[in-house]
Structures are given as C-alpha cells and as structure tokens.
Chains A and B, each alone.
Chain A
C-alpha cells in the first residue's frame, strides 16, 4: 500500500518570497510522483510529475520539485511566489508501469498556500 504525507496543512507566505511545500511518501514498489494544484471551486491541474531520469523536475507557473529517493520525498518549490499562486496543492503517488500496476493515484491531504501582500 502507498501513502502520502503532506506535513503542512497551511503555508502563509508573502508575495515574492520563496516557498517550499513538503511531501513524503511511502511505497514498497517503484512509483511515479505528481503535484497538482486546485484553485477555489475548480478541479485539479497538473503542475509537474516525476517519472524517471533527472530528479529535479520543472513544471508550470515556475514551480519545480526534487525527487529524493533516500528520503522518500518530493518537495515542491518556487523561488518567488505571486498572489495568483494562492491555492490548494496536492502531492500524489501512483505505481509505476514497471510494477504492472494501474495508474490510480493516492493523494496527500493537501497544503493550502496563501500568498499575502
């Protein structure tokens, strides 16, 4: 079984400051990792994903994340946030194709990023 832990339920940050949203996962098999963003009253939009290769993954809207296998982490970072980044961010994990699993996602509980002026 897989699980995802997002340690921070809320992260307040001032505009133009850097931010890191933490995500740790546990799995006994090889995994894919994802970050999704959810704006108020909307569905989920894919920010970025790690499948294989380079452990530093760049996504949309200036976000990036680094896969750390030894620490089983996939933290999301942005060097300078904007008011429009205020949203809920979800980390998710799925079995990789190598394990023959389907690509059902297991989600974390989400982190509310609130950017203030």
Chain B
C-alpha cells in the first residue's frame, strides 16, 4: 500500500494568486499522476510523470504545470488561479511495472 500525502487538503484563495499543491509519496514509486475531479463528476488525468525530469500532459487540458525533481515529490502549480480552477485535485502514484494506482486524499481548491 502506498502512502501519498497531499497538502493543503483545503484551500480558498483569491483570483490571480499563485498556488502550489504539494504531493509526496514514500514508496519510491516512479510513476506519479494528477487527476482533477469536479464535484459529482468523474476524474480526469491532467498530468503524469514516469520518473525524475519526466512530465507529460494528461487527457484533460489544464493550465496548471508540474515538476518532478525528486522521485517522491510531484507538485502542481497554478500561476494565476481563476474561479474555473475550483475543483478537487488528486495525486496518485504507481510502480513502473505495477498495475495499481494509489491515490492521496485530495486537495480541495476554491478560487473566489
């Protein structure tokens, strides 16, 4: 079982602010993911990484950016938040040859 930690869990910020959602995992998983989930809707992949210095865009276009400087850390950044960015963001990870993706508890972002 993977341990994935997301901070902050809940955040309310004003339009135009820059925010970074942190995600860390302690299992040494090479693959990491960010999913976005609007209330009552399905999850959509917005970013993923196969390892250090690897980042790819997901299936859903997002104005956010990610970085992967360390294996255990996969932060997501919004340079200028807008109300349309209000959503839940879920971080996940898996082994390179693994077939199961493990999720963190999510970060709820509200932009006012």
- B41:A103 contact, CB within 8 angstroms: no
Chain B's interface size range is: 20 to 34
CB atoms of B99 and A32 under 8 A apart: yes
Q: Shortest distance in angstroms between A22's beta carbon and chain B's nearest beta carbon?
A: 15
Quick check: is A86 within 8 A (CB to CB) of the other chain? no
Is residue A26 within 8 Å, beta carbon to beta carbon, of the partner chain? Answer: no
Contacts of A45 in B (CB 8 A): 103
The reply on B31 being an interface residue by CB < 8 A is yes
Given the contacts A41-B108, A103-B31, A104-B48, A46 and B42 also touching, CB distance less than 8 Å: no
Contact between chains at A109 and B99 (CB < 8 Å): no
How far, in whole Å, are A105 and B58 apart by their CA atoms in the complex? 11
Q: Mark A78-105, 1 if CB is under 8 A from B, else 0.
A: 0000000000001000101100001111
CA distance A96 to B97 in the complex (A): 11
Apart from A42-B105, A97-B99, A103-B31, list 10 A-B contacts with CB within 8 A: A32-B99, A34-B100, A43-B4, A43-B105, A49-B100, A94-B101, A96-B99, A103-B94, A107-B42, A107-B44
Binding site for A on B (CB under 8 A): 4, 6, 31, 33, 40-45, 48, 50, 58-59, 90, 92, 94, 97-106, 108
